[in-house]
Amino acid sequence: MMTESEKYISQHSSPVSDALAWLERQTHLRTNYPRMLSGPEAGRLLETFSRMMQPTRILELGTFTGYSSICLASGLAPGGRLDTIEINDELEDLIREGFSRAGLEESIRLIFGDARSIIPTLEETYDLVYIDAAKKEYSEYLELLRDKVRKGGYIIADNVLWDGKVWTDARDIQTQSIREFNDAVVADGAFENFILPLRDGLNILRRI
């Protein structure tokens, strides 16, 4: 159930596209973990960020059902492309139908497999990277992506506050991995960053 603040924000924001509304409904009907969906708040931020940048190349780690892919690809420069990596190929039919409904199937390359194995094979330099995949692998992604992001380009990592567990004494592997990633970002001289406390937290990094 939506909170009063969420209702107010929704009522005073532009509605999502028909394709995204369809995809959100289908994700709840056809998947076991619909809460993994980016949703309208984070999705609209990603779309706005992409439209402001007008990137030529975007990389996404963790497609899920393709909601964030559609948002990101909506801001591509003419002739641009989004490469999105998803480990669960059972979602392919739903993902591709969502891309088709959004009219973006020609702008998105869907790649199935383990991102850690695929990233080194990519011969692109990306303007924007979005990370929303296995949390325990975030630090590995950062190492692999350092030379894949152009100077002045951005990485956006989702779920970096992990329901507030990162500042507690929680010791589960997911929480520890997110803490290690956030610590690594601050210590890494290749990036400047800030954490935006939207939903579960977005760490926004700029390659310097």
Q: What fold, for 16-207?
A: Rossmann fold (3.40.50)
Torsion angle of C-alpha atoms 39, 42, 47, 48, degrees rounded to 10: 140
Interacting residues of 152 by C-beta distance below 8 A, sequence separation 6+: 206, 207, 208
Integer-rounded Cα Rg, in Å, for the chain is 16
**What does DSSP assign to residue 91?**
G
Name the residue with tokens 């790649």. 111
Looking at the whole model, is its pTM more than 0.75?
A: yes
In tens digits, the chain (208 residues) has pLDDT values of: 778 988 898 899 999 999 999 999 999 999 999 999 998 999 999 999 999 999 999 999 999 999 999 999 999 999 999 999 999 999 999 999 999 999 999 999 999 999 999 999 999 999 999 999 999 999 999 999 999 999 999 999 999 999 999 999 999 999 999 999 999 999 999 999 999 999 999 999 999 9
